[in-house]
Amino acid sequence: MRHSEFDRAVSDEFGGSGRALVEDLVLTAADGRTAREALAAGVPPREVWLALCAETDVPLARRHGAGRLDPRR
């Protein structure tokens, strides 16, 4: 997952409240950092995405493949 895919996945899943979650929600799986802090520390976006999903109880079916664009036809 790229950073752009992370941003798209957050927006798709959480809508307008996504930015607040990324900035303010402390993620247990990210050693007590917010998503933004974890990304800045070099944690891969996919790991941060999965930690955010776990913390907010996103169903497993919506965690994988999130943020990807539909293939061009």
Query: What residue ranges do the domains of the chain occupy?
Result: 3-62
Give the pLDDT of residue 39: 97
Confidence (pTM): 0.89
Distance CA 64, CA 17 (A): 20
The answer to whether residue 69 scores a pLDDT higher than 90 is no
Rounded distance, CA 44 to CA 15, Å?
Answer: 22
Find the mean pLDDT for residues 50-70.
89
Contact between 10 and 22 under an 8 Å Cβ cutoff? The reply is yes
Amino acid at residue number 3: H
Q: What confidence tier does 68 reach under pLDDT thresholds 50, 70, 90?
A: confident
Flag whether pLDDT at 11 surpasses 90: yes
Say how far apart CA 5 and CA 64 lie, in whole Å: 12
Q: Is the pLDDT of residue 59 over 80?
A: yes
Q: What is the pLDDT of residue 70?
A: 75
